Each structure stands twice: as C-alpha cells, then as structure tokens.
Structure 1
C-alpha cells in the first residue's frame, strides 16, 4: 500500500521531496571568528538589536568579553544600529499592525533597546497619526461587532485598541466617535 507523501517511511518533507542536503560550513574554532560568523548569519535574516545579538552569542557559548569586542566592531562599521532598528521597527509595526506608542515602546524595550532610543523612535509617531490609525482599526472592526449589544460592542472595540497599546482615553474617544459616525448612539461613552 502506498504511503502518502510526507508520512511514514522515507526522508522527504510534506511535498514528498527528499530533504535537502546542504553543505553548511562549520563555525570556526576561534571564538572571535565564531562570534562574527554567528552575528553575520543572524543579521542576514533580519536586522537585530545589539542586545539580541549579545544574548544569542552568550547562549551559544561565546564569552561575554569576546561578544562585546565583536559587537563593538559591528557597531563601528554600521552593521548594528539600535537607533535605525528602532525607527524602522516603529514605522513598520505602527503602519502594518496598528500598534500604539505604548505597545511599540514595550516591544523595543523587550528587544533590549535603550530607553532614550525607544523614546526618540516612539516620538516619531505623532498623536494625530496614532489617533487616525486607531480610527482605521475601529472602522475595520465595526462590522464584526454589528448586532451585538452596546456593552459588548464598546468592550470589544476598546479592548482591541488597549491590546494594541492605545491609551484608555484615546480608545474611548475614538470608539465613541466612530460608533456615532456609523449611526450607533451609545450612552455608555457620553462622559468620555
């Protein structure tokens, strides 16, 4: 009985093709060369912060002082730049995922970006742009809460904005305004 592709015996993937054999070069023995190679491999997939690279190097057995030397050199030649990373990250995540300033700052801090760099990058998102993005998110979500009771509509819309890092005041104001524009009066938010 034939075995479906990707199941049972055989060395293939789900498509039935055999596994690729790659001639991935081994990492060098010299710790500094090994650290450089690891960093370059990580940076080819996407930009990374200095702290992300540092954590990975330590996890891979590179001594802290060797990691610092390599990362300092990468800094000097411009291969890692936390300010540029933060600026690009903020622009991308705000535009495509609709994250508010608070969520953007939290993500950058988790990635090890310094507070001063975080503040500068997040300041690029002005209040008007943040509010407009929140309005777009609410408008897009309105059809999915149509037909729900008033409390549920408000709770879901405000909750969605809160999870995306928008302040409570902004979330309440935007939801109230957008519900009114959609012709849905809400007494819950009259005090906002």
Structure 2
C-alpha cells in the first residue's frame, strides 16, 4: 500500500460528496467528505500505511452506516435485522456490529420500542395470539427478555378481543343458526392460531349464547 505525500485531490464528477486522493499519479483512496473532514485530509499531507488502512476502514463503515440508514428509512427494524442485512451486503460481522451500535447510540435502533409497536399493531390489525406474537418477535431477532417484557403488556382481554374479531369475520359466511360442526371449525381455527384454552372456551360460550 503506497505511502507518501498526497499530491492531488479531485472531487468526483458524479458524486459531489466524494473525493479521490493521489500520491504522484496513483490513486490511494476515495472517501466521502465526512471522512475527509474527520481525518483532515488535504493536499500535501503525509500518509503512511497505518493511516491509509484506518481511513479505508472508516470509509467502509461510513458506507455501511448510510446503507443501514436507508434500510431503516423504509420501515423500523431490529438490531438483528440490520446486522443480517449488512452481512448479506458483504460487510464483515465486526463492521456490521459497529454500525448496529452506532445506530443504537444515535437513537435509530430501539428493539424495545420496535417490539412494543409491533405487538400493539399486530394484535389490533392482524388479531395475533400471544403465542404467534412471541414467534414473530423471535423471528425478527428480539431477545427473550425483551419479548417477555413487551408481552406482559398484552392482557387476556386483548387476546379475547382479537379472537372475537377473527371469529366474527368467519361468522359472516354463515346464515341462520350455527351448527355444532361449524362451531368446532371456528374453535379449531383459534387453536391453530395459538390462542389460549381459556380464551377458546370463552369464545365457545359466547357462540352458544
């Protein structure tokens, strides 16, 4: 890796935020202006192999950070989702972990808030059972302690209300008195969706009334 005095600095013609640094006629590195400012890179500055490697790592992490922000801009994500996404994009686990931590410090990542919002919306809009909600949180990388903390806010009444909505949607298909076989199908649907036995029994009583 070439060392020496920076002899030329050229702004990228397409991306005005990127700069190319040369020693004699050889390109040493290209970096975002944020990295330029951080390391105070200017023409005439002496660079050695250690500094060059540090600058290149900082540039790599900056690219990963911007990529993570774009990914977060689409919709909220968990720390695990960002970690996996960056690794899939070719970044090392170490770089991905650094970016996840940076996003946490900046307030862009909050697994507790994500989990709470997820649970609130899913039980209201999708009528998920607590069991299904736990599975969905686990799939998105929410740790067990955080998941249980959030799930403690889900009451039996929340679960019962979600089960009622699901059953009411199915009941629109029926006319007249509900047959026992139809009742069993509705209750089996709730069982498959992970609703608790006490909630299913409560729905059974409501149906028979």
| Coarse TM-score class (shorter-chain normalised) | 0.7 to 0.9
Paired residue for 1:16?
none
Offset, 1:92 = 0.2
Give the structure 1 partner of residue 11 of structure 2: none
For 1:180, the equivalent position in structure 2 comes to 208
TM-score by length of 1: 0.73
- Map residues 1-192 of structure 1 onto 2, 5 A cutoff: 30-146=59-175, 149-151=179-181, 153-171=182-200, 173-181=201-209
Range that drifts further, 124-133 or 102-111:
124-133
Structure 2: distance between partners of 1:157 and 1:145: 11
- 1:27-54 deviation per Cα after TM superposition (whole angstroms, max 9, x unaligned): x783201210111111111000000010
Select the structure of larger CA radius of gyration.
2
Once the 2 structures are TM-superposed, how far is the Cα of residue 143 of structure 1 from its aligned partner? 2.7
**Which consecutive unaligned segments of at least 5 residues does structure 2 have?**
1-14, 19-31, 33-55
Distance in 2 (CA, whole Å) between partners of 1:146 and 1:164 is: 24
TM-score, normalization by structure 2? 0.67
Q: How many residues align?
A: 155
Partners of 1:54 and 1:35 lie apart in 2 by 10
Give the superposition deviation at 1:114: 0.5
More strand by share: 2
